[in-house]
Amino acid sequence: MAKPLSVKDRLHEQAGVLTPAERQLSSVLMRDYPVGGLQSITRIAEAAGVSTPTVIRLARKLGFDGFPELQAAMRDEASEQFKTPIRKREGWGDTKPGSAAFTAFAEAVFDNLSRTIDRLEPGTLDAIAGVLADRQRPVYLSGGRITRSNADYFYNHLQIIRPAVTLLGASPNVWPQYILDMDRASVLILFDIRRYERDLERLAELAKERGAEIILFTDQWGSPISGLADHVVNAMIEVPSSWDSTLAINLIIEALVAEVQTRVSDTARERIEALEDMFRSTRIFRKP
């Protein structure tokens, strides 16, 4: 049975009959293929400078019933991309002594990435990116014993591209001092995977009482904070180890950083250039 044509192949086949607006849209879809097609229909239309009906017309011209079916096809392709690298390494166990454990672990990680993408709602990431791109809203981040590293990683990127980003201190004893400044304009990003931490849940409760908007990154089962959160991202974390893997969470973090930077590109560029000037003047890094 012949393998179905990819969205990319269909775009190439129809290139000669696309309208100018459809060609603009095709260019946007191909720019970050296939991940670029996982955004909301409104976001894709805005990026291409076309109307949402144009997106629907292109989907039908490519042989899909509408945009949801086209997006499902692109989501499948994105998932397949993460599966492909590990398939190329199926012979590792036979050719490299001692690599069987690594292969099993890598297979689990790639499966986590694939399943996380499959379960991800593009509208959720679009909404989160919109919140984080609002530079008038202060952003706070915190994580648990394991996931604090994820919070720190996200913080290091966000605070470069936009102002008013704060990483809460490691000790819960100082959290009330941060909560004191939270209000309805505030955004609290929390990372909580099993074993779910009561301190983080209490932090969410107090922040919610002050009107803060809560974004939660959690596992496939869902932290108790899910009931308080305005936006929830569930990532697959199980691997053959005593420890859970947060690589799928970091994938989403990096995708969000890229999207937020695009949305605040004017000030992000200025901040990055100013930071580089400071690095040069302080000679923190060696010259390449």
Residue 95 confidence class, pLDDT cut points 50, 70, 90:
very low
CA–CA dist 245, 11 (Å, integer): 37
Q: Which residue has the higher pLDDT, 12 or 231?
A: 231
Would you tell me how many other CB atoms lie within 10 Å of the CB of residue 141? 23
Q: Domain spanning 122-275 has what CATH number?
A: 3.40.50.10490
Q: Is the pLDDT of residue 248 over 80?
A: yes
Give CATH 3.40.50.10490 domain extents, the chain.
122-275
Q: Is the pLDDT of residue 236 over 70?
A: yes
Query: Which pLDDT belongs to residue 88?
Result: 47
Query: Which pLDDT belongs to residue 91?
Result: 47
Residue 33 confidence class, pLDDT cut points 50, 70, 90:
confident
Name the strand (E) or helix (H) holding 141: strand 139-143
Q: What value does the mean pLDDT take over residues 59-69?
A: 92
Q: Is the pLDDT of residue 229 over 70?
A: yes
Closest by Cα among 115, 51, 78 to 70: 78
Q: Among 160-164, 173-177, 246-250, 278-282, name the one with the lowest average pLDDT.
A: 278-282
Give CATH 1.10.10.10 domain extents, the chain.
7-80
Q: Among 65-74, 94-103, 113-122, 153-162, name the one with the lowest average pLDDT.
A: 94-103
Q: Is the pLDDT of residue 118 over 90?
A: no
CA–CA dist 239, 248 (Å, integer): 11
Task: Check if CATH label 1.10.150.20 holds for domain 7-80.
Answer: no
Q: Among 50-54, 80-84, 104-108, 262-266, name the one with the lowest average pLDDT.
A: 80-84
Question: Model pTM?
Answer: 0.70
Identity of the highest mean pLDDT range in 20-34, 100-114, 205-219, 250-264: 205-219
Q: Is the pLDDT of residue 265 over 70?
A: yes
Would you tell me how many other CB atoms lie within 10 Å of the CB of residue 157? 17
Contact status, residue 109 vs residue 241, Cβ threshold 8 Å: no
